[in-house]
Structures are given as structure tokens and as C-alpha cells.
Structure 1
């Protein structure tokens, strides 16, 4: 074996060892089960969708969702699961296996053409985006004729009465935690939740925890909200993520008492 061949063999060996080491560092895949509104259900639940998180790097990979039949429902590519940062292909499928929706995301934003299709495979939508900004859109009827005005891809969930009513509903349900008064705790809590395809509020959480008492009070308030008008994607009701800010302020009297050490 000459020197060049030896170097190639060593390089191949090092590459193989590096790849094996990287693979050993990757977390195991995560599997869970969802109902038709994408709410988690126990394993073995009849008619449940199966969702599999595949790691292709220490932080990212794909969420693959499967119909109860085993046919793939969707694939979403993430650069970082923890930060929910989508980077790469997003594709939905009909139960038949035909593509329903397809686009590529760049840092969470649609970039390039977003295409959707009718169940028979004919084109339904052809929207062009530049890093999340719609440049031009075409929405076609089942007969292939252009529909005007253009129908937006996504419609967010709507609270009865609008945003002002949502703020009022949260304020009515927020209770300042008595124990937080010991330190006259204050702060702004961002609460993340999902509005299901039925309009119900579920999976309420605080992505960036701060004061535990304020976080718990904010989560409790959001969990009590009545149903929303569900959001839609391409005209179909779907679960959609939402985030609301809740601000806590200690009363002036409480602040004064705490400054006096009372």
C-alpha cells in the first residue's frame, strides 16, 4: 500500500469514526399519539395518529405524522426542536398518499413557492413568498379557474368579540397569587397554547419560565378561556399555536408595605 492509499484509508476510517460518534450523541426518537385535533392521547388509543420525532442532528430533525392507517400525514423539518425553529421541507399528504401541501421554510418563514393540491392531485394554490412575505398568490377552483380575491393560506383562531374581548376575558380570570405578595412580585408572562380544530384551548404552558407563582396563575387563567372560532389553513380547520402576554402588577399598597418590611 503506497502513501497516498494509506492516507485515503486513514481519512475514510476517521470519517467513519466521526460519523459513528455523532450518531451515538443523537437522542433517541420520540413517539407520541394524537387524536384528530392533534391532542395527545394514550398509546393504543383507537384511531390515533402517530407522531415520531427523528433526530438528524443533536438539536433538530423531523416531526413525522402518520394517519391511523400508517400512511404518512406530514413531515416538518426543524433546525431546533426546543426552539420550534422550522428549517427546510414542510409537506402534508392526503390519506391516498398524494401531496396536499408543500413548501420550504427558512428560519421559520416560508421562502419560495407554497403549493397546495386538491385530493385528485390538481393544483389548488400557488403562492410565492420572500422570507414570509407574500409576493403574489394564485388560488384556483377545482375546475382550474382563478378565484378572486385571493384567499389567504392561514386564518388564525378568532376569540368571540375579537382581541379586546380576549384581553378582557383573561383579565377576568387572572388571580394575583397571594404568596407572590411576599415579594410584591411583578412581571410579564408569555403563555403558549394550542387552539384545536374544535376551538378548544389545550396544551397551555410557559415556554420561558420565570416566577413560578406568576407562571402558574397565568396558565390557570388561559385554561379557563371559552372556545375560539378555530383557525384554518387552506380552508380546513386545523390546530394552531397561539401566544398571549399576561402582565402582573403588585398594588401600590402592597409595594409600600413591603418597603416598610410589613
Structure 2
């Protein structure tokens, strides 16, 4: 990706220059060594308000209409930069209609980083997420320093990835900037962690994040969700369907904090019969065990692709 392309993509959004993920990771590593990454010392929460020193920048409204809009991530294969829209629960959208957030996706070439994704609030242009990836497409192999912010600009999470896994310290904060969790990872394993209540008292650590899961024996992980959709959609195809097609339909939805699949949508699909059948299959999903974040039920966005072939009956 050329320097001009990088500058143009940023200028279209009125963005302030931000260090790339490799630079951020190096900075985080220096801070990590300087603070408390010594195995002989207890994990430190960090100075009170540490998160407040790393608030997410806000950006003025700017025209980003010149960047292409993608409906699905595979469309990035031949692009240097693009915009991808999401709803209020971070579930993918095919275009800007109903969007609450958008991703600025940029191709990179820096110290093992191939992609950088920054997520912005559609209304305020505040950055909500800054994360990088290695590989042919973004959202495959996490790499480098990652940060996430609350809506008010307070840092919520910071961590470093190496080859898709957390490595070093993961820190989370309350909306007021007080530390919530400090966890240390080494060679893909959690070494130790300490958690704090809202008043700063030490508490036992709940699971940091769990995914939405089926409440059915033998079907519990995310892959089972997509298998269910693949198995169920044929029964919703028209009985007299006589077309012969081979293609892929991409879809998205979210599972709410009560465990119900909500707002299914087609991101990209050229066969209207398959599209309708996929939406009905998603609607037939049984109730989930909802996802959790820091031990509390939360919404979770899911997206998948159905590769299909139908022949004349």
C-alpha cells in the first residue's frame, strides 16, 4: 500500500495521525517491562486513572464517501482501504442504512502487520476500537497492540496479540478509569490474573469473555451455529424451485443478552430464494446461552457464509 493511499484514506475521515500497531506494540512492551511484568512481583493494577491517560481521540465529521464500501470482508482482497458498516451491537451491515458504527480498514505493511482496522462511532466520529491483523484478510490473525474504548472516550481494554493469541498483559478498566482486570499471558497460556471491584477492592476473576452457545447437548460452539443454518435452510426453499445455481450467501445477526437471535440480515447474496431461506433458518435457531463479558451477559454479533448448490428438481 502506497504512502499516498494511506494519507488519502486518513484525510477522508479527518483523522489525526495515530501510531501503527507495531509502534504501539513496541511502546506497550516498553511500558510493560517498566511497570510490572516481573514474575517475582505481584500483578499491579496500575496507577488510578491510568485508563484516563489513554482516552480515545475524537475526530470531526468528515466526508469518507470516496472510499469504497464493502459488504463482507472477502471483498478486501483487491482493495487498499475501505469502509464497512455495523449496527449498534457491532453486527455487520451491507451498507450505511441503520449503521451506528463503521470500520476504516486499511492495508498495511509493517513488522508483520498486514491490516489495520479502526472502528468509529458514526455520529461522533470517536474511535471505539483500534486493532491489527496479519494474513490475507483482516479479522483472521490478530497481531500487535489492540485498544477498545467506551462511548465516552475512556479506555476499556488494552492488550497485545502475537500470532492470533494474547501475549503479555491484558488490562481492562471501568468507565471511570479505575482498573478492572490485569491478566498476564505467556506462550498462549494465562499465567495469573487479578480483578478489582468498582471501589478498587480485590475480587475473584470471572471469565473474561464467553461466546454465545447452544443450549443443546453436543452442540455448543460457534461452528455448530453455522452448521445448524446450513442444515436447516433447505427446508425453507420453495417446493417447486427449479433453478440451478452455485454461489455464496453471506449473512449476519446478533444474539442478545437473553440468548435470542435477533435482526438477521443478508450481507451479500444473489439468489433471493436462498437469501429468504437463510433468514428463516436463522429465525429457527434455538435459544442460546448468552455471551458474557467480565461475567455479565452481553450481546454478541455473528456473521457467516453459506456456500450452496441447487439443481433442477
Q: TM-score, normalised by structure 1?
A: 0.61
Aligned to 2:142: 86
Classify 1:57/1:36 alpha carbon distance in 2 versus 1 (closer, same or farther; 3 Å). same
**Is the CA contact (8 Å cut-off) linking 2:180 and 2:195 kept in structure 1?**
yes
Residues 63-78 of structure 1 mapped to structure 2, 5 A cutoff: 63-67=117-121, 68-78=123-133
Question: Residue 194 of structure 2: which of 114, 135, 138 is its match?
Answer: 138
Deviations 1:6-52 (A, max 9, x none): xxxxxxxxxxxx9669979x93311022111222343253x611211
Classify 1:142/1:232 alpha carbon distance in 2 versus 1 (closer, same or farther; 3 Å). same
Distance 1:165 1:97 in 2: 35
Distance 2:232 2:2 in 1: 53
**Is the CA contact (8 Å cut-off) linking 1:50 and 1:65 kept in structure 2?**
yes
1:200 aligns with 2:264: no
Distance 1:78 1:61 in 2: 5
Question: Residue 61 of structure 1: which of 103, 106, 115 is its match?
Answer: 115
Distance 2:279 2:149 in 1: 34
Residues 139-158 of structure 1 mapped to structure 2, 5 A cutoff: 139-148=195-204, 150-158=205-213
Higher relative contact order (CA 8 A, sep 6+): 2
Aligned to 1:170: 228
| Secondary structure of the corresponding residue to residue 60 of structure 1 | strand
Deviates more, 1:195-204 or 1:31-40: 195-204
**Is the CA contact (8 Å cut-off) linking 1:53 and 1:63 kept in structure 2?**
yes
Deviation at 1:160, TM superposition (A): 2.5
Deviates more, 1:226-235 or 1:114-123: 226-235
Residues 247-262 of structure 1 mapped to structure 2, 5 A cutoff: none
Question: Residue 228 of structure 1: which of 288, 300, 309 is its match?
Answer: 288
Q: TM-score, normalised by structure 2?
A: 0.52
Distance 1:113 1:165 in 2: 29
**Is the CA contact (8 Å cut-off) linking 1:204 and 1:222 kept in structure 2?**
no
Aligned to 2:86: 34
Aligned to 2:102: 50
Deviation at 1:237, TM superposition (A): 1.3
Distance 1:192 1:105 in 2: 28
In structure 2, the gaps of 5 or more residues are 9-77, 238-249, 268-276, 305-313
Deviations 1:88-109 (A, max 9, x none): 1121101222210010011110
- Equivalent pairs counted in the alignment come to 209
Deviates more, 1:116-125 or 1:86-95: 86-95
Aligned to 2:182: 126
Aligned to 1:110: 166
Distance 1:71 1:21 in 2: 24
**Is the CA contact (8 Å cut-off) linking 2:91 and 2:254 kept in structure 1?**
no
Distance 2:88 2:118 in 1: 15
